[in-house]
Amino acid sequence: MQNDISVPPANSPSARPPRGRPREFDRQAALAAATRLFWIKGYEATSITDLTEVMGIGTKSLYAAFSSKDALYAEALKYYYTTYEGLVWTRFRAASTARKAALAFLQDSAIAMTGGDLDLPHGCMATLAAVGSEGHSELGDLMRATRAGGFDILKARFDRAKIDGDLKATADTTKLARFVQTVQSGMAIRARDGADRAELHAVAELALSGWDNITRTIEQRMQGDA
């Protein structure tokens, strides 16, 4: 019995299996992987080979997509901040007083620095990042600017507290913001060294337990310097 379906010759174009589309490069997933690696190892200790392995791409693809290791790190730092900043700053921004804002900032930093609920690397990428100055001056400037951004957020909140009457008009918000930021930086180092969340929460509570004395001392020193 003759088959009604005609079979094209083997060398006919219609007989060849359709070619699958090449696998598309997931740039966002690769960036997320690079961010996590930089977060864990830091800039200097992370090699291009490390990056291509964790990102699942070749060296040429890495440079084509991100231009250079420095540019990739800069983009990873931005990704880190925009993706995870809410873990640290959300309750801070909603707090009704300067002290509650500072405590929320430190408490939530303790949670984020010990993995949060997302199995994150321990520590703070922006705080612990160290970039050699030789040949990386722009990246070093970016790191300092990123850390300065956190300070600016703290100071702006304390400045608003002065306007609201929550802090005295003579309070030195620069020194107060620097104090809180320095406590958080120390917590980041302890987290990287293995401190658990309970320890860091205790540090946060102890650091701000004498809030009135802290603000009073800062104020007195500012008046003495005048």
Q: Is residue 200 within 8 Å of 191, Cβ to Cβ?
A: yes
pLDDT tens per residue, range 150-175 = 999 999 999 999 999 999 998 999 99
Q: Is the pLDDT of residue 192 over 60?
A: yes
210: helix, coil or strand?
coil
pLDDT tens per residue, range 79-118 = 999 999 999 999 999 999 999 999 999 999 999 999 988 8
Residue 136 pLDDT class (50, 70, 90 cuts) = confident
Q: Is residue 172 within 8 Å of 222, Cβ to Cβ?
A: yes
Find, among 215, 144, 145, 146, the residue nearest to 180 by Cα.
215
Q: Is residue 173 within 8 Å of 167, Cβ to Cβ?
A: yes
Residue 19 pLDDT class (50, 70, 90 cuts) = low
Q: What would the DSSP string read from start to end of 93-161? A: HH-SSHHHHHHHHHHHHHHHHTTTTTTPPSS-HHHH----STT-HHHHHHHHHHHHHHHHHHHHHHHHH
Q: Is the pLDDT of residue 190 over 90?
A: yes
